Amino acid sequence: MREFLILNCGFKEENILVLTDQEIEPELIPTKKNILESLEWLVKGCQAGDSLVFYFSGHGVSQPDFDGDERDGFSETICPVDFMTEGMIVDNDINSAIVWPLKNGVTLHAIVDACHSGTVLDLEHVYNRQENKWEDNSPPYGNARKHSDGGLAISLSACLDNQVAADTTAFTEKTMNGAMTYLLIKILKKYQGLTYGDLLDLMHEELEKVNESRCFSRKIFKKIMKRMLLQKPQISASKPFDVYKEHLIL
């Protein structure tokens, strides 16, 4: 993703911060503290015309919502490496860290390749691909703030809130890849000027092709289901827009 942003999207190397569990420097290990500080770094000083990208590839969990601001009764989380001692990073915290500060004219794209990631940014509008319409995801009770300070936040998630996201060798047969990350980069490199709707459709089509090929090559149902990629990538946003007219530009 780092290479893609630099070589294909014009991002400068010095403007990209990468945390991984393979780093040696303590401040670059994705602990809860470091991730939250990095989210603050991402949006600090943002101004009109800025394009921001938050990318997360890792574990995600769905847990009961105790604040009453989730329509399905569950909060989505991402897991830092020290979650066993420090806890998860909850969607409310991600929303307040990188959605609230977005000023008018600033665009944030969150690309989240994790299980249960459909509404992990707690954005107020979720796109229903089957019905081609935006659905309300605003808090059903109370006065919880979920909106930006005028800017636009768009989340591209690996799957719905109740689904898991796969790491798989289905696309290369040699290396393990996050299915969503692999397809996203492959499609954006191959097709120029895609709309958000085009991207979503192509990702779904690619996943369906893999599943169809695996069904024909497997005779035992249980084995098929274990190898199926059942995730459905999803788009959510702080403001609704025409997904087949707006072009995705990182």
Is 114:58 a contact under the CB 8 Å cutoff? yes
DSSP character string of 1-56: -HHHHHHHH---GGG-----TT-SSGGGS--HHHHHHHHHHHHTT--TT-EEEEEE
How many angstroms separate the Cα of 114 from the Cα of each of 101, 144, 172?
Answer: 24, 25, 20
Residues 48-86 as b/e (b if ≥16 CB within 10 A, e otherwise) read eeeebbbbbbbbbbbeebeeebbeeebbbbbbbbebeee
DSSP bridge pairs for 74: 64
What Cα–Cα distance (Å) separates residue 144 from each residue in 75, 92, 100, 111?
A: 14, 9, 12, 24
Beta pairing partners, 61: 77
Reference 165, options 115, 227, 110, 228; nearest CA is: 115
Active site annotation includes 125 = no
Catalytic residue among 46, 115, 125, 159: 115
247 is catalytic: no
Would you please indicate which residues are annotated as catalytic (active-site) residues?
A: 59, 115
